[in-house]
Chains A and B, each alone.
Chain A
Amino acid sequence: MAGIVGGKLGLSGRAVHRPFLSEPRWVRVLLIAIALGFLGFFLALPIAMVLAQALKKGFVFFLGALTDPMAMSAIRLTLIVAAVSVPLNLLFGLASSWAITKFDFWGKKFLITLIDLPFSVSPVISGLIFVLLFGAQGPLGTWLGDHNIKIIFSVPGIILATLFVTFPFVARELIPLMESQGTEGEYAAVTLGANGWQTFWMVTLPNIKWGLLYGVILCNARAMGEFGAVSVVSGHIRGQTNTIPLHVEILYNEYNFTAAFAVASVLMLLAFVTLLLKQWVEWQAGREAVLAEKEIAGS
């Protein structure tokens, strides 16, 4: 579903102008103006709004909203959730793309579709399934209750929901990339006596590092920003099961708008950093592709 989030590696360039193949100047200017107007309306205005609202009561209030103990605990929880879920999904991404792209087996396409599945599930349903499974009325609920294990309305539930919604990101990025690179390099390494781990570490990984980083960046952004799924399983216990997006919601619903936007601006900063890193990775990957082409042409 959001597979098109990626897949842009090494794809950029300037428009080529051929006078007989372009529109009259006034048409071009008009189309550019409409497109920029649309983007300005839907992208620039919300950004400006968040900043204006966040700083409405001055910088001191802004800092106060961020250093509030409840905000700090929300930031801590969000960092913990991302620190657990991103590496797990990274590991899965590597394992699944290795199995899928380096081997031929029956049911491969079906497996890829299953990996993509979480992208087409509503965030609310992504949370609901864990409530049904682990909640007090669920099949495991009584057992968990007897052993005093809390999953729903607690941190494990939040991590599970986050794992679900960020599940496909790394795999989605790696599968097409490794598919296009084929298996010649790995075969050469194995023939020359490398073991599996050496082959992966020295042949495969250098080729996929940018795609891998790209997937991790997107996975992390979603892990930190997820709202719907986490909202269902969190139980909104302040200072305990509140992530940053949930803290924004609570402040907003209490009509504490300025504080809500102040905390929201941190998440917006996360979005900017994500876009910046994404650009940097695309640029690096593009540069290396050009270098590799030159090397082939030179040899």
Chain B
Amino acid sequence: MRGEPTASPRVPEENLKFTLKRYSALPGFGISMGFTVFYLSLIVLIPLSTIFFKAFGLGWEHFAQAVTSARTLTALRLSFGTSLVSALINACFGLLVAWVLVRYDFPGKKLVDAFVDFPFALPTAVAGIALTALYSQNGWVGKHLYAMGIQSAYSPFGITIALIFIGLPFVVRTVEPVLQNLESEVEEAASSLGANRWQIFRMIIFPTIAPALITGTAMAFSRAIGEYGSVVFIAGNMPMKTEIAPLLIMTKLEQYDYAGATAIAGVMLAVSFVMLLALNLLQAWGRKNESL
């Protein structure tokens, strides 16, 4: 499976020594690896490292001051809160959509399945203005919500709506393949032993898809924290009220407060990396669970 030279005609001696790279008869390692490392450093690693150099350069006191200001803390709390709520809503509905798409047949199913990816394909700015128009006071949905006393635009409610939109495909697309590969024998066995559908779902299906469900939810959450384009229009961007963390970075940049922008970016990056690590562990757990 791996790039192991199983078909290699001879095993040279260097294979017996400790080497960073195993011997291979295939050409092109030097040039492809060289370009990979060069381009990766140039586009990703060097630019990204400037955040950490700059953040460390600030000194602890300055950094802490920028991060613990009331405005920053409020923005971070709002970002994490709305991201969590939207990810949980996507977990419920994403599971339902995946279930319906895998298990049932209905007219137009293929089209619906294709359109689940729409939030990935649609530029975020378009999503932002469309949702704002829908949920503002005169919008198709907004006018009903406002009549009920819910301020649906320029509020945390609106931010959550936008985050549900952009996170929608994650749960569906992670749960779908696992549901598809589910063996029906176990369900049949449980059914013949007298379990009802709900028991089968709760005790057999759900534990199997749980890792994928959690992975998808974590992905939606992680995407939501950094999201900018679809949120900035519907948020209204009032400091201390509807100002999300990415927007605060933007505001600080426009005021040439590079230190403040870097400090917030440093915190958000640290959170992203922790999420990335958690996701890698989750996926490893999922693979183990599936192969059982």
Q: Which residues of A contact B (CB under 8 A)?
A: 1-2, 4-5, 7-8, 11-18, 20-23, 27-28, 31-32, 34-36, 38-39, 41-43, 45-47, 49-50, 53, 88, 91-92, 94-96, 98-107, 111, 113-118, 120-125, 128-133, 135, 137-139, 160, 163-164, 167, 179-180, 182-184, 186-188, 190-191, 195-196, 199-200, 218, 221, 224-228, 231-232, 244-246, 248-249, 252, 257, 260-261, 264, 267-268, 270-272, 274-275, 278-279
Whether the Cβ atoms of A125 and B123 lie closer than 8 Å is: no
In the complex, B170 has a CB within 8 A of chain A: yes
Query: What is the minimal beta-carbon distance from B108 to any residue of chain A, in angstroms?
Result: 9
The 4 A-B residue pairs with the shortest CB-CB distance, nearest first, are A122-B226, A225-B123, A196-B27, A228-B228
Interface residues of B in 160-195 (CB under 8 A from A): 164-165, 168-170, 173-174, 177, 180, 184, 187-188, 191
Whether the Cβ atoms of B40 and A103 lie closer than 8 Å is: no
Interface bracket on B: 35 or more
Whether the Cβ atoms of B96 and A45 lie closer than 8 Å is: no
Contact of A45 among B36, B100, B141 (CB under 8 A): B141
Query: Is chain A's binding surface mostly helix, strand, loop or mixed?
Result: helix
Q: Total A-B residue pairs with C-beta atoms closer than 8 Å?
A: 334
CA distance A71 to B180 in the complex (A): 45
Query: What is the minimal beta-carbon distance from B81 to any residue of chain A, in angstroms?
Result: 17
- Excluding A46-B165, A103-B33, A248-B125, 19 further A-B contacts by CB distance (< 8 Å) are A35-B100, A46-B127, A46-B130, A46-B131, A95-B32, A99-B28, A100-B36, A103-B26, A105-B21, A111-B40, A113-B276, A123-B124, A123-B228, A124-B228, A125-B226, A125-B269, A129-B51, A183-B5, A272-B121
Whether the Cβ atoms of B27 and A4 lie closer than 8 Å is: no
One digit per residue, 1 when the CB lies within 8 angstroms of any chain A CB and 0 when it does not, for chain B 5-44 equals 1011100000000001110111111011101100110011
Whether the Cβ atoms of B228 and A227 lie closer than 8 Å is: yes
Whether the Cβ atoms of B44 and A117 lie closer than 8 Å is: yes
Query: What are 17 A-B interface contacts by the 8 Å CB criterion?
Result: A4-B170, A12-B113, A20-B188, A31-B104, A42-B165, A49-B134, A104-B4, A106-B20, A121-B226, A135-B258, A163-B43, A167-B44, A191-B25, A200-B28, A225-B122, A231-B229, A260-B129
Whether the Cβ atoms of A132 and B51 lie closer than 8 Å is: yes
